[in-house]
Amino acid sequence: MLKQVMVAAVVTAMTLAPVYAQDHKDWCTDAHMQKMDAMIADMTDAAKKQSAQMHLDESKAAMNKGDTAGCIEHMKEAHKDMGL
């Protein structure tokens, strides 16, 4: 039973991953990057600010390489650091 639940969870995650990436393509635009730059500049928690900036930089690099999945993954982490 547990094995079946685990297999179902993995299959569900694999099925939803492309949908999740498609839903957040708007994160990988110059406009969103500028908005994030401004929001990170206003952060007061130094550790979270540093982490968010690092993830934003990685997201920008991935976007410039045409790596949408990488861009979205790093943006997701930047958003998490920002409490979004």
pLDDT for 23 equals 73
**35-77 tens-digit pLDDT:** 999 999 999 999 999 999 999 999 999 999 999 999 999 999 9
For 1-84, list the strands marked E by DSSP.
none
Ordered DSSP codes for 28-43: SSHHHHHHHHHHHHT-
Q: pTM for this structure?
A: 0.71
Distance separating alpha carbons of residues 52 and 79, to the nearest angstrom = 7
